[in-house]
C-alpha cells in the first residue's frame, strides 16, 4: 500500500525547510549587502566565486572524462530505473547520470555546472543496492530531490545563511529530510528506502541482516550531550533519525521529536555550519574574516584618529592658557610659540602633536584661541570634527 504522503511529487518538501529557507534568505541578504558595500568584501566575494566556479568546473570535467555516463548502452537497467524516477517527477530531460569508482565509498550526489545538472552514484553503492532495485530508486529520487529543490543554487546564494551556526546545519538537515521523502516517493516503498539507509549505516554485506526498527530506536535512546551536539552541528540528520522519519511516512504522522540536551545548543551556537570538508566552505570562511576585517579596520582607525585629535586639542588648550597668561604678565600678546615654551617659561616642554603638526601663533593674534596646529588647525576646527553639526558663536 502507498502511504498518503507519497502520492504527489509536489508535497515532499518538509515545512521546516521553508521556514529555515526564510531565515537563511534574511541572513544572506544582509551578508551579501554588507559585502557589496565594502570594497574588500566585494573583492573576496568575487575571488570566492571564481574559486567555486573553477572547482565546480574541474569536478564536472573529471566526471565527464573519468566517470561512466549511464545511458541505453552503459548500464541500461540502471538507466531505465533512472528514467522511471525522472518521469515520476515529470522531468522530460533527465540530468546526466554518472557512475564513478570511489574507492569503496557508498554515496551519491547531485551537482550542477554551466547550466547542466548531473547525478553521480558511486560504483560500490550500485553494487550494494542493485541497478534497478527500489533501494536504488530511493537514492536516485533523493538526488533528483536536491536538483528539483534547487539546493545547488541555494548552496551558493544562501552561503552566509548556511555557515551561520545552528541555522545553517538545521537548514541543511531539512534538505536531507525533504530529499529522503523524494527518494521514498521515487521508490514507492518505505521498506526499501530504510534498507538503503541500513546499507549506508551498516555496510553492504550485513545490511540484509539489519533491522530498521531497532536502528530507529537508537535515535530515541541516545540523547546525551555529545549526541545532541553532533546532531546540531551536523549538516545531515543522523542515519537513525533518517530511518525514524522514513518509517513515520508509513502513517503520515511526523515522528515524535525526542528532546536534545540544552547545553548542546549553547556549544553548537559556536560551530559554523557547512562542516562537510568542501573547499568552498573554507573559502567562504576567508570571506567572512575579510569582511570582518574590512569592517573592523575603519572602526579602529576612527578610534585612533579621535584620540590623536584629543591629544592635539589638549596641547592647544595648554598653549592657549599660556598665551593668555603671557598677555596678562607682559601687557602684549606673544608672537611665537617659543616665547611660551622652554625652561623657566609657561610650559616646560613643547607639546607634541601625534600627527607631526607644529603649533603656530598667527601674525597679529590677540587670543590664545587663534593658535593652530599645522595638521589639525585651531581648537575650534578640532572641536567641529568631534561634533560636526554643532553651531558655534
Ligand atoms: Zn542528500
Ligand atoms: Zn595636531
Domain membership flag for residue 293: no
Residue 66 has pLDDT above 50, yes or no: yes
Indicate which ligand has the atom closest to the C-alpha of 313: 2
Ligand 1 geometric centre to CA of 73 (Å): 27
Domain assignment present for residue 111? The answer is: yes
- Do 343 and 233 fall into the same domain? no
Q: Ligand 2 centroid vs 330 CA: distance in angstroms?
A: 27
Residues 42 and 119 in one domain: yes
162 C-alpha to ligand 1 centroid (Å): 15
Domain-located, residue 336: yes
- Decide if 296 is inside a domain: no
Do 321 and 215 have their domain in common? no
Instruction: Indicate if 261 and 320 belong to the same structural domain.
Output: no
Would the pLDDT of 63 be above 80? Answer: yes
Distance in angstroms (rounded) separating the CA atoms of residues 315 and 373 = 9
Residues 327 and 184 grouped into a single domain: no
CA–CA separation, 63 vs 25, rounded Å?
A: 31
Question: For residue 222, what are the domain limits?
Answer: 4-276
Compute, in angstroms, the gap from residue 281 CA to the centroid of ligand 2.
46
For residues 228 and 369, membership in a common domain is answered with: no
Q: Would 105 be classed as within a structural domain?
A: yes
Is the same domain home to 244 and 381?
A: no
Give the pLDDT confidence score for residue 2 in this predicted structure. Answer: 62
- Percent of the chain at pLDDT > 90 equals 42
Both 120 and 36 in one domain: the answer is yes
- The answer to whether residue 277 scores a pLDDT higher than 50 is no
How much is the mean pLDDT over the chain?
Answer: 86
Q: Residue 178 pLDDT > 70, yes or no?
A: yes
Q: Report how far ligand 1's centroid is from the alpha carbon of 109 (Å).
A: 7
CB 131 within 8 A of CB 140: no
Segment 141-159, tens digit of pLDDT: 999 999 999 998 898 888 8
CATH code assigned at 339: 3.30.1300
Among candidate residues 230, 260, 276, the one where a domain is terminated = 276
Angular region, 218: left φ>0, alpha ψ -120 to 50, beta rest: alpha
User: 310 and 271: one domain?
Assistant: no
Q: What is the pLDDT of residue 83?
A: 95
Angstrom distance (rounded) from CA 53 to CA 315:
56
| Banded model confidence at residue 43, pLDDT cuts 50, 70, 90 | confident
Count of structural domains, the chain: 2
Q: What percent of the chain has pLDDT over 70?
A: 93
* Boundary of a domain, candidates 276, 293, 325: 276
Q: Please report which confidence band the pLDDT of residue 361 belongs to, taking 50, 70 and 90 as the band edges.
A: very high
Lowest-pLDDT range of 7-11, 103-107, 108-112, 330-334: 7-11
Q: Is there a single domain that holds both residue 312 and residue 243?
A: no
List strand residue ranges (DSSP E) for 70-184, in order: 96-100, 108-113, 116-122
Instruction: Compute the CA torsion angle 59, 64, 67, 73 (nearest 10 deg).
Output: 150
How far is the C-alpha of 313 from the C-alpha of 3, rounded, in Å? 79
Over 90: is that where the pLDDT of 299 sits? no
Distance 303 CA to ligand 1 centre (A): 48
Residue 18 has a pLDDT of 92
Greatest mean pLDDT among 118-122, 162-166, 247-251 lies in: 118-122
Q: How far is the CA of 178 from the centre of ligand 1 (A)?
A: 9
Q: What is each CA distance from 96 to 86, 147, 201, 377, in whole angstroms? A: 11, 12, 27, 70
In a domain, 391, yes or no: no
188 φ, ψ (degrees, to nearest 5): 50, 40
Provide the Cα torsion 311, 312, 314, 317; round to 10°.
180
Strand partners, 359: 373
Written as nine digits, the cell of 11 is 508535497
Least reliable range by pLDDT among 48-62, 112-126, 354-368: 48-62
pLDDT per position as a tens digit, 72-112 = 999 999 999 999 999 999 888 899 999 998 888 888 989 88
Average pLDDT over residues 132-142: 94
How many angstroms separate the CA atoms of 186 and 85, rounded? 6
Residue 386 has pLDDT above 50, yes or no: yes
**Same domain, residue pair 270 and 310:** no
Confidence of residue 274 (pLDDT cuts 50, 70, 90): low
- In angstroms, the CA 123 to CA 107 distance is 9
Q: Return the pLDDT at 276.
A: 47
Ligand 2 (ion): residues with CB under 5 Å are: 312, 353, 357, 373, 375-376
**393 lies in a domain?**
no
Domain limit, last residue, from 276, 292, 327? 276
pLDDT in the model for residue 129: 92
Most trustworthy range by pLDDT among 34-48, 201-215, 356-370: 356-370
Confidence at 246, pLDDT banded by 50, 70, 90 = very high
Looking at residue 71, its pLDDT comes to 93
Q: Closest by alpha carbon to 167, among 16, 280, 291, 45?
A: 16
Which DSSP string do the residues of 323-385 spell out, in sequence order?
HHHHHHHHSS--SSGGGTBSTTSSBSS----TT---EE--TT--SGGG-EETTTEEHHHHHHH
- Cα 358 to ligand 2 centre (Å): 7
Query: 3-state class of 228 per DSSP?
Result: helix
Give the ligand with the smallest distance to the CA of 359: 2
Quote the pLDDT of residue 389.
60
Instruction: Output the CA 355–ligand 2 centroid distance in Å.
Output: 6
Residues 238 and 333 in one domain: no
Residue 212 domain-assigned?
yes
Amino acid at each position: 500500500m502507498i502511504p498518503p504522503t507519497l502520492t504527489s511529487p509536489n508535497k515532499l518538501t518538509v515545512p521546516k525547510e521553508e521556514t529555515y529557507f526564510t531565515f537563511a534568505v534574511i541572513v544572506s541578504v544582509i551578508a551579501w549587502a554588507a559585502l557589496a558595500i565594502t570594497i574588500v568584501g566585494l573583492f573576496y566575494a568575487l575571488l570566492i566565486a571564481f574559486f567555486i566556479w573553477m572547482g565546480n568546473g574541474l569536478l564536472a570535467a573529471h566526471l565527464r572524462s573519468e566517470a561512466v555516463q549511464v545511458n541505453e548502452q552503459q548500464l541500461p537497467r540502471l538507466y531505465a530505473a533512472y528514467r522511471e524516477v525522472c518521469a515520476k517527477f515529470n522531468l522530460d530531460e533527465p540530468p546526466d547520470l554518472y557512475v564513478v569508482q570511489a574507492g569503496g565509498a557508498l554515496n551519491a550526489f547531485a551537482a550542477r555546472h554551466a547550466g547542466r545538472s548531473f547525478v553521480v552514484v558511486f560504483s560500490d553503492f550500485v553494487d550494494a543496492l542493485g541497478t534497478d532495485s527500489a533501494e536504488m530508486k530511493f537514492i536516485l529520487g533523493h538526488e533528483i530531490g536536491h536538483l528539483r529543490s534547487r539546493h545547488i543554487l541555494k548552496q551558493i546564494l544562501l552561503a552566509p545563511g548556511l555557515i551561520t551556526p545552528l541555522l545553517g546545519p538545521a537548514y541543511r538537515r531539512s534538505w536531507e529530510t525533504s530529499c529522503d521523502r523524494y527518494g521514498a516517493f521515487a521508490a514507492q516503498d518505505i521498506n526499501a528506502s530504510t534498507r538503503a539507509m541500513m546499507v549506508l549505516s551498516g555496510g553492504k554485506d550485513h545490511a540484509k541482516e539489519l533491522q530498521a526498527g531497532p536502528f530507529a530506536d537508537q535515535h530515541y535512546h541516545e540523547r546525551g550531550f555529545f549526541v545532541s551536539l553532533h546532531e546540531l552541528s551536523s549538516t545531515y540528520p543522523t542515519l537513525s533519525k533518517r530511518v525514524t522519519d522514513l518509517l513515520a511516512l508509513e502513517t503520515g504522522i511526523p515522528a515524535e521529536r525526542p528532546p536534545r540536551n540544552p547545553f548542546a545548543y549553547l556549544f553548537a551556537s559556536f560551530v559554523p555550519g557547512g562542516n562537510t570538508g568542501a573547499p568552498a566552505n573554507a573559502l567562504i570562511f576567508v570571506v567572512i574574516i575579510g569582511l570582518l576585517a574590512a569592517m573592523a579596520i575603519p572602526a579602529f582607525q576612527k578610534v585612533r584618529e579621535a584620540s590623536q585629535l584629543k591629544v592635539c586639542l589638549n596641547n592647544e588648550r595648554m598653549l592657549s592658557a599660556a598665551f593668555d597668561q603671557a598677555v596678562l604678565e607682559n601687557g602684549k600678546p606673544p608672537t611665537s610659540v617659543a616665547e611660551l615654551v622652554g625652561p623657566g617659561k609657561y610650559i616646560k616642554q613643547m607639546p607634541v602633536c601625534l600627527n607631526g603638526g607644529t603649533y603656530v601663533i598667527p601674525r597679529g593674534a590677540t587670543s590664545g584661541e587663534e593658535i593652530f596646529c599645522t595638521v589639525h588647525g585651531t581648537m575650534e576646527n578640532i572641536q567641529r570634527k568631534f561634533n560636526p553639526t554643532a553651531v558655534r558663536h
